């Protein structure tokens, strides 16, 4: 990866910024998504009418806007960036800069394209999808540079808190949540396969959905085991330091 000198003052808006090896930039901010989506959708040179009318490109049958037709809302954060992203493949290296709501706080990481774009895929499945938007609050505290396991742990703890630790409620909720995300992700992959030239966005959608697969019905036991392992590691660390 090329050595970078980042001007952090340039990253003022909430969103994800990608910097490639050739030093070109891709800005994935919410206002830019809104600005470009309609323009892309209405350009017949971008998406042919035959694709728009294809069965696999339609809204999900359970979508609240299914009768309205038109573009699936979950495609909104993806369409404006297809041409740029299609220049790369899943494992191309990229520097990811994430700016959240907190003033002055940035997260920077070396990444791969498919990992960096999990952020955009999560926006697609959670923030924009009409059916899954009701689950948005459970992603509180999640950032796009977290691993899938870290993300699922945060989501589980948010669910655990809201359900006040009631295992029956948690298990029922997780079963419903995982099933809806599975179906919406599969349908989104079908749409993207009709308009993408390579696998970057398809893989990113799959990785975003995999987060829910970590939310097994035994996740409380997995968390308990993880906490116990961390405690044991800390005890070992302090013991070794005292012996030195």
Residue 37 lies in a domain: yes
Residue 3 lies in a domain: no
The per-residue pLDDT of the chain, averaged, comes to: 80
Residue 179 lies in a domain: yes
End-to-end CA distance of the chain: 38
- For 211-236, what is the mean pLDDT? 68
8-state DSSP, 139 = G
Provide the domain count of the chain: 1
The model carries a pTM of 0.74
Residue 4 lies in a domain: no
Residue 95 has pLDDT above 70, yes or no: yes
Range of the domain at 24: 10-235
Residue 16 lies in a domain: yes
Residue 244 lies in a domain: no
* Those residues with Cβ within 8 angstroms of residue 148's Cβ, 6 or more apart along the chain or in another chain: 207, 210, 211, 214
Amino acid 1: pLDDT: 45
pLDDT-derived band at 169 (thresholds 50, 70, 90) equals: very high
- For 42-51, what is the mean pLDDT? 84
106-112 and 25-29 beta bridge pairing: unpaired
Is the Cβ–Cβ distance between 148 and 212 less than 8 Å? no
Worst-scoring range by mean pLDDT, 14-18, 145-149, 183-187? 145-149
- For 215-238, what is the mean pLDDT? 65
Residue 243 lies in a domain: no
- For 16-28, what is the mean pLDDT? 81
Measured distance CA(25)–CA(11) in Å, rounded: 12
Higher-pLDDT residue of 59 and 226 is 59
Residue 1 lies in a domain: no
Q: For a pLDDT cut of 70, what percent of the chain falls above it?
A: 84
Q: What is the pLDDT of residues 203-220, one digit of tens each?
A: 888 878 888 777 765 666
Residue 50 has pLDDT above 80, yes or no: yes
Report the length, in residues, of the chain: 244
Measured distance CA(86)–CA(27) in Å, rounded: 15
């Amino acid at each position: 990866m090329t050595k970078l000198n980042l001007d952090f003052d340039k990253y003022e808006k909430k969103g994800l910024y990608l910097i490639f090896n050739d030093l070109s930039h891709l800005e994935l901010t919410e206002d830019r998504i809104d600005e470009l989506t309609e323009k892309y959708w209405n350009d017949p040179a971008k998406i042919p009418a035959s694709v728009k009318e294809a069965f696999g490109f339609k809204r999900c049958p359970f979508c609240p806007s299914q009768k309205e037709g038109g573009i699936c809302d979950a495609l909104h954060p993806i369409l404006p960036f297809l041409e740029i992203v299609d220049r790369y493949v899943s494992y191309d290296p990229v520097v990811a800069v994430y700016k959240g709501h907190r003033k002055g706080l940035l997260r920077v990481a070396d990444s791969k394209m498919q990992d960096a774009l999990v952020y955009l895929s999560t926006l697609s499945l959670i923030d924009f999808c009409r059916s899954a938007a009701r689950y948005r609050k459970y992603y509180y505290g999640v950032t796009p540079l977290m691993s899938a396991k870290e993300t699922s742990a945060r989501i589980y703890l948010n669910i655990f808190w809201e359900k006040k630790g009631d295992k029956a409620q948690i298990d029922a909720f997780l079963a419903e949540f995982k099933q809806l995300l599975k179906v919406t992700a599969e349908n989104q992959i079908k749409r993207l396969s009709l308009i993408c030239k390579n696998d970057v966005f398809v893989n990113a959608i799959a990785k975003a959905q995999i987060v829910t697969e970590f939310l097994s019905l035994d996740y409380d036991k997995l968390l308990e085991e993880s906490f116990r392992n961390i405690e044991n590691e800390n005890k070992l660390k302090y013991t070794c330091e005292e012996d030195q």
